[in-house]
Amino acid sequence: MNHPIIIAGPCAAESQEQVRQAAVELKDFRLPQTAGGRGITFFRSGAWKPRTRPGTFEGVGKEGLLWLKDIQESTGLQTCTEVASAYHAEEVLKVGLSAVWLGTRTTANPFLVEEIAKALEGTPLHIFVKNPINPDLNLWLGAVQRILRHHPENVYAIHRGFSDYHTGQLRNAPLWRVPIEFKVQMPDIPLLCDPSHLSGHTDFIPDLAQRALDLNFDGLMLEVHHHPSQALCDGPQQLTPKTFKSLMHTLSWRKSLPSEDPLAEEKILIDAIRTRIDVLDDDLVNVLAKRMELVDHIGEVKKRGKIGIVQIERWNQVSDRTREQAVEKGLGEPFIEEVYKAIHQEAIKRQEKIIRNE
């Protein structure tokens, strides 16, 4: 799949005319050359909408699939929609769309993920798995694994933020460390970001989209509606085709990897700096090991003297001293506090073992 992967289109398929209008405006659009110069990868629109509260627009159902199929045939755009059950997946297969996504509420349910995975077994569909609604990395990884067991190719993940009982500006909490950890655990699964559902409002989309590109996400899913104020759901977060296109041209696109050309200037620089970082990492590990050796010696002394392990005054001294030094050297206070909390916990664990003769 070409990089970056761009999915754009209305939140929901509301009428044939509405999806057609969005598709017509997007079909000839080309990304800037810095982003590969191609068109959008998939045109999106939800036929079934999983709404949090009843009594709101829940999608037009399978009729919407026919509208998407028509778009696929008349514009050449590949289309995708949300599936939340084996029934949805089977209907999509009957109609012949190119891709589906599992929404955040579906990923959180292993039974549904399993039945969808089975329904899509042996098909060439592209499958996008949004993160679960709660920040549970294992649930997300597990859902992707369930899909991969039945459908090993063309599987992707989408970060759309996590539901939180919060009053912040964004609709969902980004918790960027969760998708970054996802990437560490599943480096071969392309990871997209959905700034529309993350933000809940178009005002915040440019910053979130840029942040995702800076972090090296593999693409973006964006909601685009030709008349957002009349949208039947998610109006405030839907871009117009015009604002979508201008966003694509104002973002600063990044290469996913440093050039493979061994003579490229950035490649030479990055390699040289990485060598120095490797040396420092060796030093860091050695210093930590030596520090823990000393912690063990103190553990022996505390054991002999029947002295309690946690000595709060000493811990406060260490923590104040290192924080001051670190801040002077330009390191962030929360960062150094995290590092020392981890060191302190490990030290306590080791001394507990010594005292208990384990």
Query: From the list Mn ion, ligand PEP, none, which binds 160 (C-beta under 5 to 8 Å, kind-based)?
Result: ligand PEP
Dist CA 119 CA 125 (whole Å): 11
In angstroms and rounded to an integer, the radius of gyration of the C-alpha atoms of the chain is: 25
Tell whether residue 171 is a contact of ligand PEP (CB under 6 A): no
Nearest residue to 251 via CA among 205, 190, 196, 198: 205
Smallest separation (angstroms) from ligand PEP to the CB of 157: 12
Q: State which residue has the least CB distance to Mn ion.
A: 11
Query: From the list ligand PEP, Mn ion, none, which binds 103 (C-beta under 5 to 8 Å, kind-based)?
Result: ligand PEP
Q: Which two tokens stand for residue 59?
A: 């999608």
Contacting residue, 59, 103, 174, 195, with ligand PEP by CB under 6 A = 103
Query: From the list ligand PEP, Mn ion, none, which binds 91 (C-beta under 5 to 8 Å, kind-based)?
Result: none
Residues at the contact surface with Mn ion, assessed by CB under 5 A: 11, 234
Dist CA 295 CA 302 (whole Å): 10
Q: Given the complex with ligand PEP, which of 91 and 234 has the nearer CB atom?
A: 234
Query: From the list ligand PEP, Mn ion, none, which binds 151 (C-beta under 5 to 8 Å, kind-based)?
Result: none
The residue type at 245: K
The residue type at 28: D
Contacting residue, 6, 11, 99, 125, with ligand PEP by CB under 6 A = 11
Smallest separation (angstroms) from ligand PEP to the CB of 99: 13
CA 238 to centroid of chain Cα atoms: 19
Helix (H, G, I), strand (E, B) or coil at 262: coil
Smallest separation (angstroms) from Mn ion to the CB of 197: 6
- The 248-267 contact track toward ligand PEP, x by CB under 6 A, reads --------------------
Distances (CA, A) of 138 to 154, 190, 306: 20, 17, 42
Neighbours of 21 (CB within 10 A): 16
The residue type at 332: G
Dist CA 195 CA 222 (whole Å): 7
CA 182 to centroid of chain Cα atoms: 7
| Dihedral class, residue 217 (left if φ above 0, else alpha if ψ from -120 to 50, else beta) | beta
Smallest separation (angstroms) from ligand PEP to the CB of 332: 31
Q: Given the complex with ligand PEP, which of 72 and 104 has the nearer CB atom?
A: 104
Contacting residue, 78, 104, 202, 237, with ligand PEP by CB under 6 A = 104
Within the chain, residue ranges assigned H as helices are 16-27, 63-75, 86-95, 104-107, 110-119, 137-150, 177-185, 195-199, 205-214, 241-250, 265-304, 312-328, 333-355
- The 105-144 contact track toward ligand PEP, x by CB under 6 A, reads -------------------------x--------------
Q: Given the complex with ligand PEP, which of 239 and 347 has the nearer CB atom?
A: 239
Helix (H, G, I), strand (E, B) or coil at 239: strand
Dist CA 1 CA 206 (whole Å): 24
Answer yes or no: are the C-beta atoms of 13 and 46 closer than 8 Å: yes
Query: From the list ligand PEP, Mn ion, none, which binds 104 (C-beta under 5 to 8 Å, kind-based)?
Result: ligand PEP
Smallest separation (angstroms) from ligand PEP to the CB of 149: 22
Q: Which of residues 15-74 bind ligand PEP (CB under 6 A)?
A: 46, 50
Q: Count the site residues for ligand PEP by CB under 6 A.
A: 9
Q: State which residue has the least CB distance to ligand PEP.
A: 103
Q: Given the complex with ligand PEP, which of 46 and 190 has the nearer CB atom?
A: 46
Using the 8-state DSSP alphabet, how is residue 229 labeled? G
Q: Which of residues 181-200 bind ligand PEP (CB under 6 A)?
A: 197
Query: From the list Mn ion, ligand PEP, none, which binds 130 (C-beta under 5 to 8 Å, kind-based)?
Result: ligand PEP
Contacts to ligand PEP by CB under 6 A: 11, 46, 50, 82, 103-104, 130, 160, 197
